[in-house]
């Protein structure tokens, strides 16, 4: 560049402009992330848009053409862990994560461009309660960002896969881990910690995406003396009070607010931590630059049921009101005003909800039952939904045209008794004895839910419950997968199954759709495993081996 | 010496083998759930696709099991650094009996290779008395940068001097948690040739003579070789014990506001909020022998130094506790407001020095030395110096095992 010093002003400006353009071609900006929903050629955000609607305007694959859907390519992930990663696509390159690798693929052919392995201490899986998984990457300015099981945040060069920076969030040994796909909001890389079953004190963090410097950490459990600290008993309960934040939050660029769900309180035995236990079982509205809490709403106060409030927070407008929605583990479908946090609706979305009959829309407090009181007092109780929830982590889609949310819901109960907890760093901290209570028939249903009433327009049951994410499209379709290996497509209006393909291993991933050169593609990871396989003891799954792969489908023929 | 007789140990004292097995399975179930369930499934039920189906684990391949658990295997992480030996035993029992629903395959448990370090010579290092003591034995023993502290350590020094030997100490991890078994620890340490004697050993019939099991896991000790797998088991040998040099009693500790209350029996705890030290003999005796309303309103806390601190902080008013535990608390908190009442529970244990039964010559020498030390007041002085409430030994020197009736009713035991 030295020769450039002597050049004219125009020449210098021209060089600078060229540099900018070059960068623009190789990278993406915050504006690109904000526009993700309306640019189906790229998938730049977890949930296919900052609003996490997982709904695409693409309609080449539709109720008429879906019969011609065929696999285009498959790519082995060389992993027998559950595959839950949300693929990203930028300019023809697909980025996928597993617990031990990040890969870049040519989106059209499935050919590997690079693969970067991660190394973490062999003891790390000890602190992963519910599967050795990773839920995906984030992208900005030519870098790919991800979290690791041993609680690090990593940036890779999107072109080469080389590590740009790696920052340790916390020492994993006492029960902390990370599986979350990061969120980039207002230029800040935001992640949340896992470990609600290990006596952690949960938090959400913001990093500088350029250099990995930590900008802020907001604990989900306030210390004594801070606002919310009064909802914990005197003593040390708050220090091991749980409150993980293990699923990706949602961003509203207009309000410049990040919405992030907070998980269960720990130990499960709620008797040892009397009080509401903020901000466990809650959602937080955060300022992305500072991490400060603008407002909160608590779904499940003094939670004895492992009712995480982490499920995806979906943004839309209902009757002209900007709202945020969540189908909570606790069996209620919540709709809140996302400017102020006022509760608009909260209704059961599964058939049996034992812990609360309703939620008071004025106070926002649940009207809890005798069962909930007994569970807290240490009596043996059976309650539905179980700790798996009315819906687990598998994200739902929301179709703004039909106004329906499509979600894989669960029909499982739990036998439960709180017992004296014994804290020991790095191992489970339950304080409860429990077993499952199974229904006669289907253990799960794909539902088309009206957010305002919680009622289902249709349901599609399955004996082994579905744990995959859901994708909906303007083609009138709903895509999801089964733990028995089928990638499935349903009619969004009727719930009729229109198409399926056996992928060879359980599908617990997150389907996405995109287009290139005028063709619509659908991509999903298969690879059975994770929480249901590990915890349910459902021996029917013995017929469906693990083994992860990326599958991409499109319409065949001409 | 333990501050209290731990859970499995006292169970072993008086439960039938079948009931003991049942308790062992329960313990195993609890360990399994905390450490194993999130990969191998609740109650070991899993599809067998992602992780090993432990219901199929061969009951005669204990070595393989121990290897995999302690060192890891394939995707499975190693647990050797945080799983205690007795937890490994419990979870192995749980796995091979399938949660206590099946009989353990008799005599088929494969054996680990045992390094035979014990030799025929009476002292493991010539001219040196090597003693095993818990590193963390509270008022009774504690490792220091150089040497040690505590009543049992002081007695060891007196003994070594009297025998004309230098003293070496093998510090091992005692009280790792309430379920550890001090009897098996001592059997294993002596059998492995880690020391000549183990002072502070509770003298009751079941804890002496032939070992309680053919094999047991070694506790951790300072200088333990890195390549020795955690939970490594050794063949046990018969042990015998010297004459007693002290006696451990249990008494009632009262909060300051009730410090003047006269306690003559556990019945006098009426009207007090009582704390129960979980998993200890004192705790069990409280539950079984204190008046029902007292037990109904009692609060239970884990054993260890934190227990009396909770009382200090006003969480309860009174507790039956072994005196060394109180002594240790008093050392940690010299301005304690807690008061030890004059009441002593009728059950107590003499303590003596354990060694391998075949070392009969050493036994005679130790017995003679202890007699001299007791007669010339040296041991009394050690008691005063260490500020313990260790009592003088009283007959019978070796007490019979506790029976169920000892546990359920507070009564004076004929001596």
Structure confidence by residue, pLDDT tens digits, A381-399:
999 999 999 999 999 999 9
What tens digit of pLDDT does each residue of A294-306 get?
A: 999 999 999 999 9
What tens digit of pLDDT does each residue of B98-145 get?
A: 776 766 554 433 333 333 333 334 788 888 999 999 988 888 998 887
Give the residue from chain B lying closest to A535, CA to CA.
B41
By Cβ distance, the residue of A126, A435, A533 closest to B47 is A533
Q: Do B47 and A420 touch (CB under 8 A)?
A: no
For residues B100 and B21, the answer to whether their CB atoms sit within 8 Å is yes
Domain count along chain B: 3
Q: What angle do CA B127, B133, B135 make, to 5 degrees?
A: 125
* Within-domain flag for B218: yes
Based on the fold, state whether residues B314 and B377 are members of the same structural domain. no
Based on the fold, state whether residues B301 and B365 are members of the same structural domain. no
CATH number, position B288: 3.40.190.10
Q: Å from B239 to nearest chain A CA?
A: 34
Which ipTM value was assigned to this complex? 0.84
A36, A306, A308, A354: the catalytic one is A306
Q: Å from B37 to nearest chain A CA?
A: 7
**Would you say the CATH fold of A85-221 matches that of A59-84+466-558?**
no
A226 contact partners, CB below 8 Å, separation of at least 6: none
CA atoms within 13 A of residue A31's CA, in its CB half-sphere? 1
The pairs formed by B20-26 with CB atoms below 8 angstroms and a separation of 24 or more are: B21/B93, B21/B97, B21/B100, B21/B104, B22/B100, B24/B90, B24/B93, B24/B100, B25/B93, B25/B94, B25/B97, B25/B99, B25/B100, B26/B100
Q: Is the pLDDT of residue A49 over 90?
A: yes
Residue A407 β-bridge partners: A447
Where is the domain boundary, B344, B378, B408? B344
Between chain A and chain B, the number of residue pairs with CB atoms below 8 A apart is 82
CATH number, position B91: 1.10.760.10
Q: Do A126 and B302 touch (CB under 8 A)?
A: no
For residues A87 and A105, the answer to whether their CB atoms sit within 8 Å is no
Q: Do A539 and B78 touch (CB under 8 A)?
A: no
A417 touches chain B (CB under 8 A): no
Within 496-535 of A, beta carbons closer than 8 Å to B belong to 528-529, 533-535
pLDDT of residue A286: 98
Based on the fold, state whether residues B241 and B353 are members of the same structural domain. yes
Most confidently modeled of A112-126, A182-196, B34-48?
A182-196
Q: Do A535 and B37 touch (CB under 8 A)?
A: yes
Domain holding B85, by residue range, is 7-96
By Cβ distance, the residue of A122, A128, A544 closest to B72 is A122
pLDDT of residue A2: 39
What tens digit of pLDDT does each residue of B18-49 get?
A: 555 667 778 888 899 889 998 898 889 888 78
By Cβ distance, the residue of B41, B48, B302 closest to A422 is B302
Worst-scoring range by mean pLDDT, A17-31, A186-200, B264-278?
A17-31
* Within-domain flag for B197: yes
Based on the fold, state whether residues B214 and B353 are members of the same structural domain. yes
Give the residue from chain B lying closest to A422, CA to CA.
B302
| Residue showing tokens 């020498």 | B365
Q: Do B78 and A529 touch (CB under 8 A)?
A: no
**Rg (chain B; Cα; Å):** 22
Q: Å from A530 to nearest chain B CA?
A: 9
pLDDT of residue B20: 56
Where is the domain boundary, B324, B344, B364? B344
Give the residue from chain B lying closest to A82, CA to CA.
B50
Q: Do A541 and B47 touch (CB under 8 A)?
A: yes
* Within-domain flag for B171: yes
Active site residue A306: yes
- Candidates B30, B35, B38: best to mutate against A (most CBs of A within 10 A) is B38
pTM: predicted TM-score of the whole model, two decimal places: 0.68
Give the residue from chain B lying closest to A436, CA to CA.
B42
DSSP conformational letter for B391: B
Based on the fold, state whether residues B226 and B357 are members of the same structural domain. yes
Based on the fold, state whether residues B42 and B80 are members of the same structural domain. yes
What would the 3-class secondary structure string for B188-221 be?
Answer: HHHHCCCCCEEEEEECEHHHCECCCCCEEECCCE
Based on the fold, state whether residues B171 and B299 are members of the same structural domain. no
Q: Using a CB-CB distance cutoff of 8 angstroms, which residues of chain B are in contact with residue A542?
A: 47-49
pLDDT of residue B18: 54
Based on the fold, state whether residues B355 and B237 are members of the same structural domain. yes
pLDDT of residue A122: 87
Based on the fold, state whether residues B195 and B302 are members of the same structural domain. no
B98 touches chain A (CB under 8 A): no
By Cβ distance, the residue of A128, A435, A537 closest to B46 is A537
pLDDT of residue B83: 85
**Rg (chain A; Cα; Å):** 23
B35 touches chain A (CB under 8 A): yes
CATH of A85-221, one of 1.10.1380.10, 2.40.30.30, 3.40.50.10320, 2.40.128.630: 2.40.128.630
Q: Å from A464 to nearest chain B CA?
A: 12
Most confidently modeled of A160-164, B50-54, B203-207?
A160-164
Question: What are the structure tokens assigned to A130, written together?
Answer: 């519910």
Worst-scoring range by mean pLDDT, A100-114, A479-493, A518-532, B167-181?
B167-181
For residues A250 and A315, the answer to whether their CB atoms sit within 8 Å is yes
* Within-domain flag for B120: no
Topology of the domain comprising A59-84+466-558: Thrombin, subunit H (2.40.10)
Based on the fold, state whether residues B240 and B132 are members of the same structural domain. yes
CA atoms within 13 A of residue A354's CA, in its CB half-sphere? 22
Based on the fold, state whether residues B255 and B234 are members of the same structural domain. no
pLDDT of residue B223: 75
Q: Is the pLDDT of residue A431 over 50?
A: yes
B313 touches chain A (CB under 8 A): no
Q: Å from A539 to nearest chain B CA?
A: 4
* B107 burial type by CB count under 10 A (0-12 exposed, 13-18 middle, 19+ buried): exposed
By Cβ distance, the residue of A128, A130, A546 closest to B50 is A546
List chain A domain ranges.
59-84+466-558, 85-221, 249-392+395-456
Based on the fold, state whether residues B21 and B85 are members of the same structural domain. yes
On average, the pLDDT of chain B sits at: 83
Where is the domain boundary, B344, B368, B387? B344
């Amino acid at each position: 560049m030295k020769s450039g010093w002597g050049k004219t002003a125009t020449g210098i400006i021209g060089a600078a402009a060229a540099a900018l353009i070059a960068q623009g071609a190789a990278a993406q900006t915050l504006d690109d992330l904000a526009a993700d929903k309306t640019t189906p050629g790229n998938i730049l955000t977890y949930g296919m848009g900052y609003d996490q609607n997982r709904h695409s305007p693409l309609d080449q694959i539709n109720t008429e053409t879906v019969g011609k859907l065929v696999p285009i390519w498959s790519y082995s992930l060389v992993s027998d862990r559950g595959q839950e990663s949300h693929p990203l696509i930028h300019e023809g390159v697909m980025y996928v994560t597993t617990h031990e690798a990040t890969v870049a693929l040519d989106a059209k052919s499935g050919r590997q461009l690079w693969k970067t392995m991660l190394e973490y201490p062999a003891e790390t899986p000890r602190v992963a309660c519910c599967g050795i998984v990773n839920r995906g990457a984030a992208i900005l300015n030519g870098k790919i960002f991800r979290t690791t099981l041993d609680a690090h945040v990593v940036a890779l060069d999107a072109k080469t896969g080389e590590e740009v920076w790696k920052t340790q969030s916390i020492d994993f040994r006492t029960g902390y881990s990370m599986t979350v796909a990061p969120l980039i909001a207002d230029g800040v890389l935001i992640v949340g910690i896992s470990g609600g079953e290990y006596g952690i004190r949960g938090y959400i963090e913001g990093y500088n995406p350029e250099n990995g410097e930590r900008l802020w950490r907001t604990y989900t459990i306030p210390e004594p003396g801070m606002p919310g600290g009064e909802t914990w008993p005197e003593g040390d309960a708050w220090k091991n009070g749980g409150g993980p934040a293990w699923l990706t939050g949602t961003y509203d660029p207009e309000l410049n607010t990040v919405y992030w769900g907070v998980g269960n309180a720990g130990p499960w035995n709620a008797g040892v931590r009397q009080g509401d236990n903020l901000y466990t079982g809650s959602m937080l509205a955060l300022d992305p630059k500072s991490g400060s809490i603008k407002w909160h709403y608590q779904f499940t106060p003094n939670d004895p049921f492992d009712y995480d409030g982490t499920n995806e927070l979906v943004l839309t407008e209902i009757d002209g009101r900007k709202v945020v929605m969540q189908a909570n583990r606790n069996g209620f479908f919540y709709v809140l005003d996302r400017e102020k946090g006022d509760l608009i609706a909260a209704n059961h979305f599964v058939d049996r909800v034992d812990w609360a009959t309703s939620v008071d829309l004025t106070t926002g407090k649940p009207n809890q039952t005798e069962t909930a009181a007994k569970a807290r007092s240490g009596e043996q109780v059976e309650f539905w939904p179980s700790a798996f929830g009315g819906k687990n982590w598998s994200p739902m889609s929301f179709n703004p045209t039909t106004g329906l949310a499509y979600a894989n819901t669960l029909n499982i109960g739990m036998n439960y008794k709180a017992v004296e907890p014994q804290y020991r760093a790095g191992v489970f901290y339950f304080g409860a004895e429990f077993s499952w209570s199974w229904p006669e028939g289907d253990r799960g249903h794909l539902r088309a839910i009206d957010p305002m009433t919680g009622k289902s327009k249709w349901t599609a049951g399955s004996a082994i419950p579905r744990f995959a994410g859901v994708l909906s499209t303007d083609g009138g379709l709903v895509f999801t997968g089964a733990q028995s290996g089928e990638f499935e497509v349903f009619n969004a209006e009727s719930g009729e199954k229109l198409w399926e393909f056996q992928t060879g291993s359980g599908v617990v991933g997150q389907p996405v759709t995109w287009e290139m050169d005028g063709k619509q593609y659908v991509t999903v990871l298969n690879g059975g495993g994770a929480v249901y396989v590990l915890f349910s003891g459902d021996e029917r799954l013995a017929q469906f081996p693990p083994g992860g792969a990326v599958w991409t489908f499109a319409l065949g023929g001409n | 010496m333990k501050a209290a007789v731990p859970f499995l140990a006292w169970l072993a004292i008086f439960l039938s083998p079948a009931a003991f097995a049942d308790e062992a399975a329960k313990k195993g179930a609890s360990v399994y759930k905390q450490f194993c369930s999130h990969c191998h499934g609740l109650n070991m039920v899993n599809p067998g696709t992602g992780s090993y189906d432990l219901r199929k684990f061969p009951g005669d391949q204990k070595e393989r099991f121990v290897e995999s658990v302690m060192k890891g295997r394939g995707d499975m992480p190693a647990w050797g650094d945080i799983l205690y030996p007795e937890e490994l035993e419990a979870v192995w029992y749980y796995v091979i009996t399938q949660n206590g629903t099946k009989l353990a395959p008799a005599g088929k448990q494969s054996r680990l290779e045992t390094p035979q370090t014990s030799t025929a010579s009476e002292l493991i290092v010539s001219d040196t008395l090597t003693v095993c003591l818990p590193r963390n034995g509270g008022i009774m023993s504690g490792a220091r940068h150089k040497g040690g502290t505590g009543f049992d350590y002081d007695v060891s020094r007196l003994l070594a001097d009297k025998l004309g030997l230098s003293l070496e100490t093998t510090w091992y991890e005692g009280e790792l948690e309430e379920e550890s078994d001090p009897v098996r620890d001592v059997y294993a340490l002596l059998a492995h040739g880690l020391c000549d004697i183990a002072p502070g050993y509770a003298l009751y019939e079941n804890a002496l003579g032939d070992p309680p099991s053919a094999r047991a896991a070694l506790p951790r000790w300072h200088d333990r070789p890195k390549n020795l797998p955690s939970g490594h088991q050794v063949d046990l040998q018969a042990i015998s014990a010297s004459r007693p040099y002290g006696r451990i009693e249990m008494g009632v500790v009262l909060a300051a506001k009730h410090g003047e209350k006269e306690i003559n029996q556990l019945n006098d705890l009426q009207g007090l909020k009582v704390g129960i030290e979980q998993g200890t003999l004192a705790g069990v005796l409280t539950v079984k022998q204190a008046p029902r309303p007292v037990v109904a309103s009692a609060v239970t806390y884990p054993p260890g130094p934190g227990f009396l601190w909770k009382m200090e902080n006003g969480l309860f008013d009174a507790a039956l506790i072994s005196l060394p535990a109180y002594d240790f608390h008093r050392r940690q908190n010299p301005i304690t407001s807690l008061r030890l009442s004059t009441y002593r529970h009728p059950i107590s244990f003499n303590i003596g020095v354990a060694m391998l039964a075949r070392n009969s010559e050493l036994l005679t020498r130790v017995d003679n030395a202890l007699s001299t030390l007791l007669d010339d007041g040296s041991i009394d002085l050690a008691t005063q110096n260490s500020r313990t409430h260790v009592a003088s030994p009283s007959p019978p020197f070796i007490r019979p095992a506790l029976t169920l009736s000892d546990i359920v009713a507070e009564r004076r035991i004929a001596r």
